Structure 1
Amino acid sequence: MFIEWIFVISSVLLASAGWISERIVGGYQVPISEVPWQAAILLNGTAKCGAVVYSDKILITAAHCIPENKSDISIRVGSSTWNNGGQLLQVDDAEVHKDYSSTKDVLINDIAVIRVKGHFKMGHSVSSIPLAESTPESGSPASVSGWGAVGHSQKGSEHLLQTTVNVVSQEDCQKSYGERITKSMICAAAQGRDSCSQDSGGPLVSDGQLIGIVSFGSSCADPNYPGVYVNVAELKPWILRAIEKLSCLCAGKV
């Protein structure tokens, strides 16, 4: 998932600890019209992460999906396949959470906002999704989608996949990961179903709202370790400030 040296180092550390960035396991194919907020981040033309459409110019993703050289990434929306169709735009700028940090066993404040050059044409295959106002209760059903690997150490999917999971309480998630799990994270799991690598930055959706951003986990669909996501409701104030900042910078260019 990482090409720039800092991202290579981060992924080696994660792998050495048995931790990896997330991808879809136990999923099924869906047309982009069912998840029109889903976007693909391409690094030098190759699928690397997912992202979430916020507007015709702004997307939300994971901080670890943003390389040092932002001009290396482009965004594809409106297609069920990451490598063709839909609309492809270059990235103009990105704002990464100032307190983002990556260690060998956890990603903290793993959130970023992207602004593209130009505008996406919105429609049935490209649309935004509301940000959650509050963290859903434990057991709430949710869906996660992406083009990531279909299993640990397996290849990614060319076609968009989706699967269903259930929100796991912070207390239960801490039983797996310890106190590294904070209020800025939300966990979700289901037997044989999970997000997996290259799904990072993609959407976790419940009741028509974006509740999480795919972040990290231990293996894929490991029954002892839920997937860990950025808690959108908790970090919503930062997300909105970042969007406002990028929008103001954009307006200043006109």
Structure 2
Amino acid sequence: MELSFVFLSAWQIYPICIDLSPTAKREVENANTFDAYGWGKTRTANISAILQRVTLDHYDRSRCNRIGRLPLTLNQICAGSSDRDTCDGDSGGPLIQKVNYNGTRHLTQFGIVSYGLKSCEGLGVYTDITSYADWIEEKIEALYPEYSRQPSLAGIANPVSIRPPPETAVFGVENFGRARLLTVPCGTSLSTRIMNGTNAEPEVAAWMARIHYESHFICGGTVIHRRFVLTAAQCLKNRHEATLIVKLGAYDIRGSTLEYGVSKTIIHHEFDREGLINDIGLLLLSRDIEFSLHVYPICIILNPEVKSKVESAYTFDAYGWGKTNESKISNILQKVTLDRYDRSECNKLFEISLPSSQICVGSNVGGSCDGDGGGPLTKKVIVNGLQRQTQFGILSFTTRACSFVGVNTDVTCYVDWIVRKVRGLDDIFS
């Protein structure tokens, strides 16, 4: 929320601290207790006239899974007490701890009151803001760049500071100083099925592909090379090359696009259509793509150690023109930020056993749906000094009801396969 005027810090009003360091997440995981504040419902009144405080124990996430219809993610905190809790009217309030910074203890916010039991009986779920430090910085810097790295006011508390991207070490903008990339340039401008998503930034359409079968839109995909589009194998199964068209450069599908024929479809040799294992495929286009401000490839990192980074990621972004709340197809490219779910939780939801080559993601408020299959799961990472859009997953399947949980093929498990196919066929068709 942006206020209509600027606060001048004084003893009555000053900012709470937000820890932007890479170690903040670990501090949350190791915490024993937190304090929550609010003017919400008490035992004697629907609203408290005086600000209330309650000390809550930090619980394992599994304890809170029984509250909601979806399992808690790594971006949520479970906290409670045997006889006390936050309640109606406390939502949006802080979950805090006193933390020692440079020899001084500061009140620091780690969570936001999200939801709990209707009875307010000692168990609640909180959004873990350490997972969103980059998002907070991005929004504040965009609105008030002059406040970047602002010094503390009167020594009371440090306002949110904007870190220079190269200095950060969290995965959201990971610094891959010597990463090997499939194609260069990629993932950054040459001058950025979705339910409850928002319109994507127009620049991301540069690497998005729309795959059509006999004039019907069937799947999403991504430009990864001047001759290749990456997608899901299920999108290509039993479809002849002559019946496929790839459209590029479309942010709004009602506008003009570049159309490419398909010379060859490549489906992973171990693709299991029933279990959707190894659900990855490539389209060799009939001619080279001319990269420009409006069409260029997304990055594929080839370093094998990237796999471990995917396992520790908290969020990804998904893109597509698929089904929304209002229509079967979205005219404008949609984006939704999704949490990474533990595979054990997704195994329960889908009643299957996900291998390490699949990523399970979801959200309580949005997700992928019909028409988004084959589309990318991405993150912005710093590669060789530049922040780049990088692909880590391909949407494979979701629940029939599009209930905000989906399974993606982990691209990092297939980089060797991608390299073999791209370089082998590129030499032949060049």
TM-score normalised per structure 1: 0.81
1:65 aligns with 2:65: no
Name whichever of 143-152 and 208-217 sits farther off: 143-152
Report matched runs for 1:62-211 at 5 Å: 62-66=232-236, 67-82=238-253, 84-103=255-274, 106-132=275-301, 133-134=306-307, 135-138=309-312, 140-151=314-325, 155-207=328-380, 208-211=389-392
1:241 aligns with 2:420: yes
Q: Residues 248, 139 of structure 1: CA spacing in aligned structure 2 closer, same or farther, 3 A cutoff?
A: closer
Deviation at 1:246, TM superposition (A): 2.2
Q: Which structure is richer in relative contact order (CA contacts within 8 A, separation 6 or more)?
A: 1
Q: 1:128 to 1:235 in 2, by over 3 A?
A: same
State the SS of the aligned residue for 1:242.
helix
What's the CA shift for 1:83?
5.2
- For 1:220 and 1:193, the matched residues in 2 are separated by 12
SS where residue 136 of structure 1 aligns?
A: helix
Is residue 47 from structure 1 mapped to residue 226 from structure 2 by the alignment?
Answer: no
Q: Per-residue CA shift, 1:201-249, capped at 9, x if unaligned?
A: 11100233211001101124426xx200000111221122221232133
* CA displacement 1:26-56 (0-9 Å, x = unmatched): 1112244134211100112221100111112
In 1, Cα distance between the equivalents of 2:400 and 2:340? Answer: 18
- 1:5 corresponding residue in structure 2: none
Displacement of 1:138: 4.8
Q: For each residue in 1:140-199, what CA deviation from the matched residue of structure 2 results, as whole angstroms up to 9, or x when unmatched? A: 2211111111159x5111221111111222232223234431111111111121111111
Is the 1:100–1:111 Cα contact (8 Å) retained in structure 2?
yes
RMSD: 2.0
Q: 2:259 aligns to what SS in structure 1?
A: strand
- Equivalent residue, structure 2, for 1:7: none
Aligned length: 224
The share of aligned pairs that are identical, in percent, is 25
Match of 1:240, SS?
A: helix
1:92–1:32 Cα change, 3 Å: farther
Counterpart in 2 of 1:38? 208
Is the Cα contact below 8 Å between 2:316 and 2:338 reproduced in 1? yes
| Residue 24 of structure 1: aligned partner | 194
Could you tell which deviates more after superposition, 127-136 or 193-202?
127-136
**Which position in structure 2 is the counterpart of 1:3?**
none
Query: Structure 1: which 5+ residue stretches go unaligned?
Result: 1-22
Q: TM-score, normalised by structure 2?
A: 0.49
Q: Is the 8 A contact 1:50 1:202 kept in 2?
A: yes
Distance 1:40 1:204, change over 3 A: same
2:394 equivalent to 1:216: no
In 2, the alpha carbon distance for the partners of 1:241 and 1:177 equals 33
